[in-house]
Copies of this chain bind each other. A is one copy, B any other.
Amino acid sequence: MTIDSEILRSLRTNKAGSVSGADLSQRLNISRAAIWARIEEMRALGYDIEASPHRGYTLLDSPDLLHADDLLSRLDESQIIGRDIRVFQNTTSTNDIVEKLARDGVDEGAVVFAESQSLGRGRRGRQWTSPAGKGLWFSVLLRPSLTPQAVTKLTIASATALARAVRNVTTLSPEIKWPNDLLIAGKKISGVLTELAAELDHVRHVILGIGINVNMTESDFPKALRPTASSLRIQSGSLINRPEFAAEVLRQLDIDYKRVTNGHFHEVVEEWESLSCTLNREVEIQVGDRTIIGRAESLDQDGALLVRSQHGRLERVIGGDVSLRKTLAKDI
């Protein structure tokens, strides 16, 4: 914990709503003058902190910016995901940064946010639009004890976690399109790019690259995406406080990561299945050059999708582009 995050945590969690300089000074073991200097710096960043001779410091408002100390101050210290948070104003791609951290041996749980990405990417090198200040573009470093085969579990778990975070912070109820796109009213709100480095039988690290369209308006999307992409703001009609939402996302990701690593993946699967708009539907999945057409039946124990093909065969699909087929006349 840094001093700034301790101060913000104290201001947020103190029941009286205010904390005196003397209290903070004692708790953090630095002078009252040093506390005052930190508060002044936070004010310069946009934090509205009132100082009263009687009540001490009161946090009236926080700016909508991603600030590592602020995010840290909102999380429980027992969390793995988010125990190390770094924020960049602009990067090529947050996955690139986290890959460097991974190679440098940084512990799992490190999270890198960027206010904007110049080369944000989706699966298979596709572009991901990430305009400044409008979304959450971030990557999480994990070092789970899993085989490469079982990394699908993390992909499934990222979807349930993101869906809960959206429900907890907004009035919206996203559906999940396999494996982990969140959809609201049929439009894509978020996507996850899962990258891994492994030996044959065990994973060295996994990087979850997550993009969530938070406060984007229609005009923030390239024209070609407007029919299929949307944001929480467009769908809910109100601006979302990004730091508050970011902290909730990290909290929920931490919960589901622990469900995977502690052997409770079946709970994740149940939740995923209840939110899925893919199961029990006719789907068309593009896997490389191959197209699989059939009925999505369930997830298997590793989170792969089991599809009953037209020929009656059960196919196990671990990735690809799913499209839901229009309901056939005979099904009505």
Q: Which residues of A contact B (CB under 8 A)?
A: 123-124, 145, 147-149, 151-152, 155, 179, 193-202, 204, 287-288, 318-320
Contacts and interface: CB of A to CB of B under 8 A. Distances in A.
B319 A202 contact: yes
A301 to B, nearest CB: 13
Contacts of A288: 145, 202
Contacts of A151: 148, 200
A202 B124 contact: yes
Contacts of A318: 147, 149, 200-201
Contacts of A147: 318-319
A200 B145 contact: no
Nearest to A320: B201
30 contacts: A123-B199, A123-B200, A124-B202, A145-B288, A147-B318, A147-B319, A148-B148, A148-B149, A148-B151, A148-B196, A148-B198, A149-B149, A149-B318, A151-B200, A155-B200, A179-B200, A193-B199, A194-B199, A195-B197, A195-B198, A195-B204, A196-B197, A196-B198, A196-B199, A196-B200, A199-B319, A201-B287, A201-B319, A202-B288, A202-B319
Contacts of A201: 287, 318-320
Contacts of A198: 148, 195-196, 198
A126 to B, nearest CB: 11
Contact of A200 (B194, B199, B200, B204): B194
A206 to B, nearest CB: 10
SS of A interface (majority): mixed
Contacts of A204: 195
A201 B318 CA distance: 6
A52 to B, nearest CB: 54
Contacts of A202: 124, 288, 319
Contacts of A199: 123-124, 193-196, 319
A145 B289 CA distance: 11
Contacts of A287: 201
A196 B152 CA distance: 16
A179 B195 CA distance: 25
A91 to B, nearest CB: 16
A198 B155 CA distance: 14
Nearest to A317: B201
Contacts of A145: 288
B149 A200 contact: no
A284 B54 CA distance: 72
Contacts of A179: 200
A124 B204 CA distance: 9
A318 B201 CA distance: 6
A151 B204 CA distance: 16
A320 B201 CA distance: 7
A302 to B, nearest CB: 10
